[in-house]
Structure 1
Amino acid sequence: MGELVRVEVEGGVHKVTLNRPDVMNALNRDLRRELTAALTVGHSARVIVLTGAGRGFCSGQDLSDATGLDDAGFERTLNEEYVPMICAITEAPVPVIAAVNGVAAGAGANLALACDLVIAAESAVFIQAFTRIGLIPDAGGTSFLPRRVGLQRAMGAALLAEPVSARQAESWGMIWEAAPDDRFAEVVATRAAKLAAGPTGAYAALKQALRGAFDQPLEAQLAVEARLQGQCGASEDFREGVAAFLEKRAPRFTGA
């Protein structure tokens, strides 16, 4: 990867760090492209952790980078650069953790909400800052936010563009967990290690089932469950899980 994104791989954990700390990891064109590539490479790992360098997670679009943001360029930039970046998260066959170490604003907030599990430091805040500059939430925000918190809270967060603390986000169901700052890194590492040791095939099927659940009626969702459960039931991980249960030991999943 390039200088704007750091990648560290250890024990099946593919850690991706946004690395523009001087501008709170604001997203310019080069960072978006590097990030998409780093996330895509992480699809072959067992879990991806996305975080930011310095005191912020991501402050959103770099407004000093006018590339592709002229009158005619917004739609093209979103389609060509933001959509692949978000899809690299939502379509990953492995769990993706957003480790929100500080401010997550604008597209940065929605980059976090695209992830499967969001763990934030208590001092972190989420800001749907778009209306402050006359825009609407993008980077998937109009989909992720109301599905996580309901329409009224999504409207309030987007219309008022006020900071939502990590604790408030946790109570709303916007994120999974707000961790004390002094234990944040430990909590993220523990969650990542647990997922990296888990049944990755079942995780991939689970992600597919849950992410599609809002888009179809119950009967169709039941059919999806049956098909995916059939795949999981034929896996080595299922056989290992049952054997470990009967033998009263920890399972040794391989992803097969």
Structure 2
Amino acid sequence: MHYQHILFSIDAGIAQLSLNRPAQLNSFTGPMHEEVQQALGQVRQDDSARVLLLRAEGRGFCAGQDLADSSVVPGAEAPDLGLAIERYYNPLVRSLRDLPIPVICAVNGVAAGAGANIALACDLVLAARSANFIQAFCKIGLIPDSGGTYALPRLVGMARAKALALLGERLSAEQAEQWGLIYRCVEDNELHDQAMLLARHLANQPTYGLGLIKRSLHASLDNSFEEQLSLELDLQRQAGRSEDYREGISAFMAKRSAQFKGR
């Protein structure tokens, strides 16, 4: 499928989705959202996709919503921003969070507004040292969306979440790593190589089980202790019936490298 606003490929188990509106700092429009949704649909349907790498072209990761898009510009009547949230942003962050494979995000340059929170919806976030994260919503009278008000307090605590959301200050990649907002800060010239190295590693792991790990950790944020124990029981039962588990045990006993297939 030909895309105009993104680059997309699946090769050797790695699905790569790159935002490709560099002149606009990869800010989102309706057509770009639709292309991203189509690509994520391909990832879900293609059993060969073992890991997703989300990245961006140009000097910035994503500046969030394109404020020149007609759907969000105030006119004679105030726009209903909830429609864009309902149609585009909520489905996007749900898809990233719920994909049954690991999702890596490589952040170059600025990740602002929804762009920051889309990155935080991924499982492992690598950021170039020159990158920064900005909850820019407060500067134009809006609230953090795309899961921002959910993710921020859970990742960095309420005090820091409020500071990020109310002040809209730039948070450097190095500080984001120290606060636990992201997985790792790497040198700018190493971002792509480090992201690909991580993607290749994960693509060769028992990704069926990794998907169950994602489900269990996400559920733990809201479950009681007893509910989480029950979920662990159910998911471990599923994991134990997988081909990957059988292969993992066989490889361990035979002292050979496992050849996982993600099922």
Please give the TM-score of this superposition, normalised by the length of structure 1: 0.97
Are 1:85 and 2:86 matched, yes or no? no
Residue of structure 2 equivalent to 1:122? 129
Distance in 2 between the 1:245 and 1:170 partners? Answer: 34
Partner residue in 2 for 1:54:
58
Matching residue's letter, 2:54: L
Q: Residues of 2 paired with 1:122 and 1:110: CA distance?
A: 18
Structure-2 separation of matches of 1:219 and 1:234: 23
Task: Tell me the residue number matched to 2:203.
Answer: 196
Which runs of 5 or more residues in structure 2 are unaligned? Answer: none
Contact 1:69 1:77 in 2 (8 A): no
Q: How does 1:64-75 map to 2 (within 5 A)?
A: 64-68=68-72, 70=74, 71-75=78-82
Q: Unpaired runs of 5+ in structure 1?
A: none
The answer as to 2:236 corresponding to 1:253 is: no
> Could you tell me how far apart the structure 1 residues matched to 2:251 and 2:185 are?
32
> RMSD over aligned Cα, in angstroms?
1.2
Do the aligned partners of 2:71 and 2:79 also contact (CA within 8 Å) in 1? Answer: no
Q: Any idea what the Cα deviations from partners look like across 1:127-147, whole Å, max 9, x if unmatched?
A: 001101111100110011111
Residues 68 and 76, structure 1, Cα contact 8 Å, conserved in 2: no
Work out the CA distance in 1 between the residues paired with 2:58 and 2:201: 26
2:32 aligned with 1:31: yes
- Aligned residue identity for 2:33: R
1:156 corresponds in structure 2 to 163
Distance 2:153 2:34 in 1: 27
Q: Distance in 2 between matches of 1:160 and 1:250?
A: 50
- State the distance in 2 between where 1:8 and 1:181 align: 23
What's the offset of the Cα at 1:69? 5.2
- Does 1:219 find its partner at 2:220? no
**1:40–1:92 CA contact under 8 A, matched in 2:** no
Q: Secondary structure at the match of 1:56?
A: coil
The alignment of Structure 1 onto Structure 2 pairs a total of residues equal to: 256
C-alpha change, 1:72 and 1:54, in structure 2 (3 Å) is: closer
Taking the aligned partners of 2:178 and 2:72, their CA distance within structure 1 comes to 37
Q: Give SS of 1:226's match.
A: helix
Relative to structure 1, the CA distance from residue 88 to residue 124 in structure 2 (aligned partners, 3 Å threshold; closer, same or farther) is same
Give the equivalent residue in structure 1 for 2:153. 146
> Could you tell me the percent identity over the aligned residues?
45
> What corresponds to 1:98 in structure 2?
105
Structure 1 counterpart of 2:17: 16
Q: Residue type matched to 2:9 in 1?
A: E
Match of 2:215 in 1: 208
SS in 2 for 1:99: strand
Q: Secondary structure at the match of 1:17?
A: strand
The Cα offsets for residues 54-108 of structure 1, whole Å up to 9 and x where unpaired, read as 0110001100112155524211111111111111111111111111122100000
Deviation at 1:164, TM superposition (A): 0.6
Distance in 2 between residues matched to 1:105 and 1:136, nearest whole Å: 13
Aligned residue type for 2:85 = L
Task: Indicate if the aligned counterparts of 1:117 and 1:176 stay in contact, CA closer than 8 A.
Answer: yes
